[in-house]
Structure 1
Amino acid sequence: MCGIAGIYHPETAKPVDPARLRAMLEPMGHRGPDGSGVWTAPGVGLGHLRLSIIDIEGSPQPMASADEAVTLSYNGEIYNFRELRAELEDRGHRFRTSGDTEVIIAAWRQWGPECLSRFNGMFAFALHDAARGCLFLARDRLGVKPLHMARLSDGSLAFASELKGLLRHPLLRCEARLSAVEDYLAFGYVPDDSSIVAGVEKLAAGHYLLIERGKPVPAPTRWWAPDFSRRIKASEGEAAEHLIHLMRAAVTDRMVADVPLGAFLSGGVDSSSVVALMAEASPKAVKTCTIGFDEAALDETAYAQAIAERFATDHRTRTVAAGDFGLIDRIADMFDEPFADASALPTWRVCELARETVTVALSGDGADEAFAGYRRMVFHHQEERLRRMIPAPLRRGLLGPLAKVWPQMDWAPRPLRARATLASLAKSGAEGYAEAVGVTGPAQRARLFNDAARRALGDHVAEARYWKAMAEAPAREPLDAAQYADLMIWLPGDILTKTDRTSMAASLEAREPLLDYRLIEFASALPAAMRVRGGTGKALMKRAMERYLPRDILYRPKMGFVTPVSHWFRGALTDQARALATSATLSRTGWFDMAEIDRIVAAHQSGRRDHGRLIWQFFMLEKSLAKLFGI
């Protein structure tokens, strides 16, 4: 796992200053503490930071081909590189190293952009081909590894793994993008199709950008997307057997490393499944680690301990205080852009713990997106059945007004919050699901912005990206469309960003076997009844894992990594919450109705409403704006 940076002049071969590349690498040093390198040629420069995982001594980067025509800077792992290497050797390619980096170079020379479809892995890379006169930027199918880009005033394209690296380029004007703030308030993160810094883009998951010198820079090309339009023809028993086969292959593929390897273990279905299959494949005790909380309602260590004992893992647990908010400034530094998923705090803690004994850790990320494990997906599946039964005019004319007068019950589980259900049913499926995914709804956001900001935003609506994705999804039914949108938007923007930044901040490589593309393609072809059943998701996965895991692990209610932000803002962070209403940073943006922020904080601290997540969003936004723009 590594960090990359680069500069490319697509029109004329202007020289690239190596010192500029080194400056871009410097703030990303945590991504590659084991080595660094810079390479330049007329019109191009590539930089690299290395965290050594495979072929520790033999694959320094940027790496050039034997004839020096192709040079690569690469972040990630290609899990099937040995099979590809053998195929390429049969085609006449010769290798000087034993790692996966050189395989990418040979695959490019053999197949061009089509090489991407042959890779099973996580990656973001920049490849310069002098013979073809081009730069090839590519990102893995699901966006596990990041890549930020910006066109600069001198005509160059600059790129880096993290925004902090890109910001070191002196020609990048650091100005805030208001529409990204709207997106952040809607979802709690800045989606991959935007950036908090105007002029910065992120290469989207499953896309590549091929730039040929002397030609206009084209739009990125999509090279992969999940397809929910197909259906498998198999019994549930046959499907469960095939799923186990795919999961086993995905886990064993990701256990290849020349450094110590372990796993995160929360005691939930996903991480427990990964540990079970690791234990099956490993002759040694699997190293596992768990973060616990000092509040019983948030603590899952007993479940993790039970799994550790069941599979005889080398298990370590660390308990942290639920009030462990001293890391907030560190978290803001990790993410650069505002990021309000409060589970980043315990995720960082478990990465720290893992790094004490291993360099690579397998996680359970991805199963909820692949197999419809989120409650919102289950609710959407159920609500769509009701939408089909109730005519749209009746839903809009009756249920919408009824939702407005129904009592607010923030404290209740969603099935008991009739107001939220009625409001969702009054909308289209895409509108209802987009708001269910979000943190702050459109009406609330409109009140938070002042008149000038609302005018500047114009017709920009954060949820529109979900409407578009669901409308365009290759899908057979509404559940398919919801999962497709989450895989395209939520997964890279929130889940994978969180895991990448927190693990890399600890110089730890995190691997996600349940995001193996073969698993995703299989899961997307499952009938809805094999995904959602009896009011819960991941039905087939749970059945498949019954031979490995006890029922109290498989079928207990989903908990997740919870951080008690609502409690913090009525307790230890009371003063900080109140200070938001008079924040010089938020006020100087000229975007917000500060009186509305004051009302929100007051309502929360009085106990009348639970605005903890919204206050947390402003808390993290304030820190990011101050750090990035000096506001």
Structure 2
Amino acid sequence: MCGIAGIFHTEGLKPVDPDRVRLMCDAIAHRGPDGEGVWTAPGIGLGHRRLSIIDLAGSPQPMASVEGDVMIVFNGEIYNFKELRKDLQALGAHFRTDGDTEVIIQAWRHWGTDCLPRLHGMFAFALYDLRQRTMMLARDRLGVKPLFTARLPDGSVIFGSELKALLAHPSFRREIDPLAIEDYLTWGYVPDHRAMLKGVEKLAAGHYQLLRHDAPPAAPVQWWDVSFAERERGNADDLGAHLLHHMRQAVTSRMISDVPLGAFLSGGVDSSSVVALMAEASSTPVKTCSIGFDVAALDETAYADRVAEQFHTEHWKDTVSADDFSLIDKLAGMFDEPFADASALPTFRVCELARRHVTVALSGDGADEAFAGYRRQTFQHREEQLRGLLPAALRGPVFGTLGQVWPKADWAPRPLRAKATLLSLSASGEEGYARALAVTGSEQRDTLYSAEFQRLRGDYRAEQPFVELMRNAPARSGLDRAQYADLKFYLPGDILTKVDRTSMAVSLEAREPLLDHRLVEFGARLPERMRVRGTTGKWLVKQTMRRYLPQDVLFRQKMGFVTPIAQWLRGPLAGAARGLASDGVLARSGWFDAARIDALAEAHISGRADHSRLIWQLLMLRKSLEQLG
């Protein structure tokens, strides 16, 4: 795993200052503490920070082809590089290293952009062809590895693995995009179609972009997508056998490493499944790491301990205090853009723990998106069945009216908390799912913004691109569309961003076997009843893993990393909550109704209401803006 950065001139072959490329790389040195390198030529500069995982001594970057006509900087892992190497050697390719980086170079030389579908793995790279005077930027199918770009006033394009690499360039101008504030307040992160700063773009997952010295940057091209339009045939036993084959293949391919390797183990279905399959494939004990909390209601380590004992892993665990909020400023620096998923705190802690023992850790991320493991997906499945029973002309007035008058009762038993469901049923499936995923709904956002910000925002609403994505999905059903949106929108914007930044902050490589594209494509073809039955999501995954895992691990209620932010904001962080928008950077922005936010903060601190998610969002926004300057 590594960090990459560079400069490309689209208007001629002006020289590139290697010190500027080096500055950009130094800003992301945490991504690669084992080596560094810079290469420049007229119109191009490539920089690299290396975390050595494969071919420890033989694959420094930037790397040139044997022929000297191609240069590359690469972040990620290609898991099928040995097979590709054999194919390319049969075509006459020559190699001088034993790693995967040189395989990408020769794949480009022989197949051009058609090399991308042949690469199995996680990656972001910049490849420069000296013959064609062309640079290709490329990102893996699901967006495991990030890539930021920006165009400078002199016509050059700069790129980097993190936004801080771009910020290190002295000509980069920092100006907040107000539409990113709307997106962030809605989702709790800045999604991949937007960036916090104007002029910055994130290359979308499954896309590449070609740059030439004598032309403006070409539009990115999508080279991969996942389709839910087809269906696998077969009974549960047959499909389960296929699923297990794909899972084994995904896990074992990610166990190749020349440095110590282990796994995160939360005690949930997904991480436990990965550990079970690692133990099956390994001749030595698997190394596992868990994080617990000193509050029993939040702690899952008993389940992790059971799994570790069952598979005889070499297990380490640590306990995090429920008052472990000291990382807030550090987290803001890790993410650059505001990021309000509070599970980033324990995720960083488990990465810290893992890095003491291993350099590579496998995670269970991705199965919920690929196999319908989120509760909101099972709700969406049932709601779509109800929508099918009533015409939209009737649903809107009936459910909409009921939803408006129904009291918001978060404190009540679940069956009485019907307001959100009624409002969702009154809308289309896409609009309802956007409402379910949003952290702050459109009605509440409208009450928070100042008149000036509403003018800046104009007609844009953050839900619009999400709804459009769902409507245009290659899918058959509402459940398909929900999963497609989770894979294309939520997964890269939230989950993969969280894991990448927290792991790379401690120079740890995280690998996601359950996001192997063949496994994801198989999951997308499963009949709905193999994904969801009743209130049980990931049905086939759980049935298939019965041979490995105990019932209470497979079928207990999903927890995830829960962080007690409501209590923090009534206790040690109450002072930070007060005056959040009345002084400091948020007040100076003029974007918010300060009196309204102060009132919400006081209501939360007093215990009259729970506004913790919104206050946390605003707190993290403030911290991020302070660091962005």
Q: TM-score range by the shorter chain?
A: over 0.9
Pairwise CA distance, 1:405: 1.6
Query: Residue in 2 aligned with 1:132?
Result: 132
Looking at structure 2, the residues matched to 175 and 216 of structure 1 have their Cα atoms a distance apart, in angstroms, of 22
8 Å CA contact retained: 2:66, 2:94: no
**Are residues 1:620 and 2:620 paired?**
yes
Looking at structure 2, the residues matched to 228 and 603 of structure 1 have their Cα atoms a distance apart, in angstroms, of 45
8 Å CA contact retained: 1:531, 1:540: yes
Looking at structure 2, the residues matched to 417 and 118 of structure 1 have their Cα atoms a distance apart, in angstroms, of 48
Pairwise CA distance, 1:297: 0.4
Q: How many residues align?
A: 629
8 Å CA contact retained: 2:16, 2:44: yes
TM (norm. structure 2) is 0.99
**Amino acid of the structure 1 residue aligned with 2:78:** I
Q: Which runs of 5+ in 2 are unaligned?
A: none
Pairwise CA distance, 1:391: 2.1
8 Å CA contact retained: 2:6, 2:45: yes
Farther off after superposition, 6-15 or 100-109:
6-15
Query: Residue in 1 aligned with 2:395?
Result: 395
**Are residues 1:96 and 2:107 paired?**
no
Query: Residue in 2 aligned with 1:69?
Result: 69
Pairwise CA distance, 1:108: 0.3
**Amino acid of the structure 2 residue aligned with 1:337:** E
**Are residues 1:364 and 2:364 paired?**
yes
Query: Residue in 2 aligned with 1:37?
Result: 37
Farther off after superposition, 172-181 or 398-407:
398-407
Looking at structure 1, the residues matched to 36 and 133 of structure 2 have their Cα atoms a distance apart, in angstroms, of 25
**Amino acid of the structure 2 residue aligned with 1:586:** L
Looking at structure 1, the residues matched to 109 and 412 of structure 2 have their Cα atoms a distance apart, in angstroms, of 58
TM (norm. structure 1) is 0.99
Query: Residue in 2 aligned with 1:463?
Result: 463
SS of aligned partner of 1:150: strand
Pairwise CA distance, 1:583: 2.6
Pairwise CA distance, 1:172: 1.2
Pairwise CA distance, 1:216: 3.0
Looking at structure 1, the residues matched to 341 and 465 of structure 2 have their Cα atoms a distance apart, in angstroms, of 20
Query: Residue in 2 aligned with 1:13?
Result: 13
Looking at structure 2, the residues matched to 172 and 571 of structure 1 have their Cα atoms a distance apart, in angstroms, of 40
SS of aligned partner of 2:46: strand
1:203-226 per-position Cα deviation (integer Å, ceiling 9, x unaligned): 000000012332332110000011
Sequence identity (%): 64
Looking at structure 2, the residues matched to 300 and 434 of structure 1 have their Cα atoms a distance apart, in angstroms, of 30
**Amino acid of the structure 2 residue aligned with 1:104:** I
SS of aligned partner of 2:283: coil
Query: Residue in 1 aligned with 2:79?
Result: 79
**Amino acid of the structure 2 residue aligned with 1:19:** D
Looking at structure 2, the residues matched to 414 and 96 of structure 1 have their Cα atoms a distance apart, in angstroms, of 62
Looking at structure 1, the residues matched to 152 and 240 of structure 2 have their Cα atoms a distance apart, in angstroms, of 51
Closer, same or farther in 2 for the Cα pair 1:39/1:573, shift >3 Å? same
8 Å CA contact retained: 1:414, 1:420: no
Looking at structure 2, the residues matched to 413 and 231 of structure 1 have their Cα atoms a distance apart, in angstroms, of 38
Looking at structure 1, the residues matched to 607 and 375 of structure 2 have their Cα atoms a distance apart, in angstroms, of 26
Pairwise CA distance, 1:413: 6.2
Q: Which runs of 5+ in 1 are unaligned?
A: none
1:466-488 per-position Cα deviation (integer Å, ceiling 9, x unaligned): 11111110001110011111111
The aligned runs of 1:100-499 (5 Å cut-off) are 100-412=100-412, 415-499=415-499
Looking at structure 1, the residues matched to 269 and 460 of structure 2 have their Cα atoms a distance apart, in angstroms, of 38
Post-superposition, which runs of at least 4 consecutive aligned residues in structure 1 deviate over 4 A?
Answer: 412-415
Farther off after superposition, 21-30 or 268-277:
21-30
Pairwise CA distance, 1:289: 0.5
SS of aligned partner of 1:614: helix
**Amino acid of the structure 2 residue aligned with 1:69:** D
Looking at structure 1, the residues matched to 59 and 376 of structure 2 have their Cα atoms a distance apart, in angstroms, of 44
SS of aligned partner of 1:166: helix
Looking at structure 1, the residues matched to 415 and 297 of structure 2 have their Cα atoms a distance apart, in angstroms, of 21
SS of aligned partner of 1:434: helix
Pairwise CA distance, 1:294: 0.2
Farther off after superposition, 406-415 or 196-205:
406-415
Pairwise CA distance, 1:41: 0.4
Farther off after superposition, 296-305 or 392-401:
392-401
Pairwise CA distance, 1:581: 3.9
Pairwise CA distance, 1:606: 2.5
SS of aligned partner of 1:57: coil
Looking at structure 1, the residues matched to 28 and 413 of structure 2 have their Cα atoms a distance apart, in angstroms, of 41
Pairwise CA distance, 1:394: 2.1
8 Å CA contact retained: 2:43, 2:213: no
Pairwise CA distance, 1:79: 0.2
SS of aligned partner of 1:325: coil
SS of aligned partner of 1:579: coil
Pairwise CA distance, 1:414: 5.1
8 Å CA contact retained: 1:231, 1:525: yes
Looking at structure 2, the residues matched to 454 and 401 of structure 1 have their Cα atoms a distance apart, in angstroms, of 27
Looking at structure 2, the residues matched to 156 and 561 of structure 1 have their Cα atoms a distance apart, in angstroms, of 42
Closer, same or farther in 2 for the Cα pair 1:588/1:94, shift >3 Å? same
8 Å CA contact retained: 1:410, 1:609: no
Looking at structure 2, the residues matched to 415 and 361 of structure 1 have their Cα atoms a distance apart, in angstroms, of 40
